[in-house]
């Protein structure tokens, strides 16, 4: 019998984006665990021979998962996971680890602890870095409200996640990666955790591309290049409202609501005009000459618009799929909203391929015990930035209950400070 490829046990599989990339590097998915019926059907349509466990991970034992994969404890090469990120996303409800979806990473830890794979790869949205164990709405912060508890501070959930990862007894490294740095035509940032059971020195994959094409790296792939050659003669898209079309018709490629005449901006944005923040996604028309912004699950959303650079419509499902690097032949199940959600939630295979190549190199070296079973961040600059961020933020003063800068400063002095606990995860412990 031919020797089988190194194995992947895929948890929270979605449409298999991360795992497709690992397969391109020479690994083999042996089982997929996915409770969403549309994503599970997508896997079955494209991989009819792959066992799919269409259940919530809370309902499955590790033994059931391994049996479906034809593996025993200690045999999986990699366990992959992208626990539901809605609780951590800056666009979501910010329920954090107190949200049932925020607790799903613990079930991932359970399976790793019991299956003992050689490696694990876990990813999540960048918002996890600032997530709190218990979320307090902005409208309930500031003078006139109690000081924050330690579990309400920004970053408290992330510290908890790091502490629980340490209990696995693996060597773990983590960092924020940008998909565009690996040849994906999209600036999509994710937090990546890679673990090694045997103390092999796993690393965050080195970037192959960069914005300014540094020496030894290629330039970022533009949207135009990413969509080149795509045949999409009957694009399947969500319909835009007449008023949205009216405004988008006035916006050039690469622009957004700020490109409108000033007299039209307030009416176009509605209540959002008086809010704060970048609002770059409002009435956004994409540009050809740079990578696409991070795809969202709602391309026609008021704050998440993904309008085609030239045509008066949002990007089609097939264009979404190409930007996320799925094969053009990949079929997505469900109606348009379900298809956009599957593609928008996926990890581009380009990231998985880069991770897979790094793991293959590590396996060839076969140097167990070369590093201690500990957890470190691959970027001391990231650690420094996290440590220097405030533990809370407030609404603009005009939106606060008590509109006094002095009262706000006093309240912040009780609820703020340096996130110094994160410093112990720096690879260089001398970070100040």
Q: Between these two residues, 309 and 95, which has the higher pLDDT value?
A: 309
Q: What is the CATH number of domain 6-215+347-425?
A: 3.40.50.150
What does pLDDT average to over the chain? 90
pLDDT at residue number 398? 77
Q: Between these two residues, 148 and 84, which has the higher pLDDT value?
A: 148
Q: What is the pLDDT of residues 210-268, one digit of tens each?
A: 999 888 899 999 999 999 999 998 999 999 999 999 999 999 999 999 999 999 999 99
272 pLDDT more than 60:
yes
Q: How large a percentage of the chain has pLDDT more than 90? A: 70
Tokens of 338: 């379900």
Q: Between these two residues, 393 and 51, which has the higher pLDDT value?
A: 51
> Among 33-47, 307-321, 412-426, which is the least confidently predicted range?
412-426
Q: Does domain 223-344 have CATH number 3.10.50?
A: no
pLDDT at residue number 1? 40
- Domains 6-215+347-425 and 223-344 equal at CATH topology level: no
166 pLDDT more than 80:
yes
Active site (catalytic) residues = 85
Domain residue ranges in the chain: 6-215+347-425, 223-344
134 pLDDT more than 80:
yes
pLDDT at residue number 339? 98
Q: How large a percentage of the chain has pLDDT more than 70? A: 92
62 pLDDT more than 50:
yes
Q: What is the pLDDT of residues 395-418, one digit of tens each?
A: 888 778 888 889 888 888 876 666
Q: Give 32's pLDDT tier (boundaries 50, 70, 90).
A: very high
Residues 382-395, mean pLDDT to the nearest whole number: 88
388 pLDDT more than 60:
yes
173 pLDDT more than 70:
yes
pLDDT at residue number 52? 98
pLDDT at residue number 273? 83
95 pLDDT more than 60:
no
Q: Between these two residues, 151 and 27, which has the higher pLDDT value?
A: 27
- Across 76-90, 380-394, 402-416, the highest mean pLDDT is recorded for 380-394
Q: Give 96's pLDDT tier (boundaries 50, 70, 90).
A: very low
């Amino acid at each position: 019998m031919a020797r089988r490829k190194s194995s992947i046990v895929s948890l929270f599989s979605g449409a298999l984006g991360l795992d497709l990339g690992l397969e391109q590097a020479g690994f083999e998915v042996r089982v997929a665990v996915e409770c969403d019926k549309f994503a599970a059907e997508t896997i079955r349509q494209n991989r009819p021979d792959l066992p799919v466990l269409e259940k919530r991970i809370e309902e499955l034992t590790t033994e059931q998962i391994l049996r479906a994969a034809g593996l025993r404890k200690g045999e999986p090469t990699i366990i992959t996971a992208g626990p539901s990120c809605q609780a951590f996303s800056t666009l979501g409800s910010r329920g954090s680890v107190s949200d049932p979806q925020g607790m799903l990473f613990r079930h991932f830890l359970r399976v790793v602890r019991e299956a003992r794979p050689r490696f694990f790869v876990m990813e999540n949205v960048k918002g996890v870095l600032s997530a709190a164990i218990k979320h307090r709405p902005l409208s309930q912060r500031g003078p006139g409200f109690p000081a924050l508890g330690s579990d309400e501070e920004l970053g408290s959930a992330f510290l908890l996640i790091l502490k629980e990862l340490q209990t696995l007894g693996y060597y773990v490294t983590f960092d924020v990666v940008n998909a565009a740095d690996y040849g994906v035509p999209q600036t999509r940032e994710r937090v990546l955790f890679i673990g090694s059971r045997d103390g092999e020195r796993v690393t965050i994959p080195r970037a192959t591309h960069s914005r300014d094409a540094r020496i030894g790296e290629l330039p970022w792939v533009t949207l135009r290049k990413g969509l080149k050659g795509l045949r999409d003669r009957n694009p399947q898209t969500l319909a835009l409202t007449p008023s949205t079309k009216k405004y988008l018709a006035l916006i050039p490629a690469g622009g957004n609501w700020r490109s409108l005449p000033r007299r039209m901006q307030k009416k176009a944005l509605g209540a959002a005009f008086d809010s704060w923040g970048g609002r770059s996604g409002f009435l956004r028309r994409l540009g050809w000459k740079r990578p696409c912004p991070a795809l969202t699950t709602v391309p026609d959303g008021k704050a998440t618009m993904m309008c085609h650079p030239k045509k008066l419509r949002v990007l089609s499902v097939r264009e979404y799929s190409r930007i996320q690097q799925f094969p053009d032949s990949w079929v997505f199940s469900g109606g348009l909203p379900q298809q956009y959600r599957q593609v928008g939630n996926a990890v581009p295979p380009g990231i998985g391929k880069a991770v897979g190549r790094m793991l293959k190199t590590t396996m060839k070296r076969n140097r167990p015990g070369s590093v201690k079973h500990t957890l470190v961040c691959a970027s001391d600059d990231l650690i420094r930035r996290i440590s220097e961020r405030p533990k809370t933020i407030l609404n603009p003063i005009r939106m606060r209950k008590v509109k006094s800068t002095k009262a706000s400063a006093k309240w912040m002095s009780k609820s703020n400070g340096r996130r110094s606990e994160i410093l112990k995860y720096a690879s260089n412990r001398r970070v100040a």
